[in-house]
Amino acid sequence: MNVANEQKAGTLKISDEVIAVCAANATLKTDGVAELAGGFTNTLSRNLLGKELLSKGVKVSQGEDGAAIDIFVIVHYQVNIPSVAWEIQEHVKKEVESMTELPVAAVNIHVQGVHMPEEET
């Protein structure tokens, strides 16, 4: 579903994919985030198409109140998970709203795992 903003010259539609890429970039810039966690569709895309999705780990749904964004992340070991989640929410909301001018109704963080540091040999 796309949200359309009516203007004098016509309508502007911003796809969920564009919002997801903005959210993914903001998430990856947040300290404490190791990577985005891809799901089943990301695995299929990588294996069948040989492509990495730019918006893996992000699900967007647009409604009347604004965009609801679900982000699936893997965090670094020994970070404060609630603090990292709060930072992700702040960064994503700010970046999506500044780039698209669409309201963000919710940013839901789903911590899918913890990235353990490699053992030094």
Query: pLDDT tens across 49-61, in order?
Result: 554 556 789 999 9
Question: What is the tally of structural domains in the chain?
Answer: 1
**Counting Cβ atoms within 10 Å, is residue 43 exposed (0-12), middle (13-18) or buried (19+)?**
exposed
DSSP bridge pairs for 114: 75
What CATH number has the domain bearing residue 37? Answer: 3.30.70.1350
Distance CA(35)–CA(32), nearest Å, equals: 9
- How do residues 28-87 score in pLDDT, each as one tens digit? 999 999 999 976 444 444 445 554 556 789 999 999 999 999 999 999 999 999 999 999
Distance CA(56)–CA(36), nearest Å, equals: 7
Q: Is 68 inside any structural domain?
A: yes
Residue ranges making up the domain that contains 83: 3-115
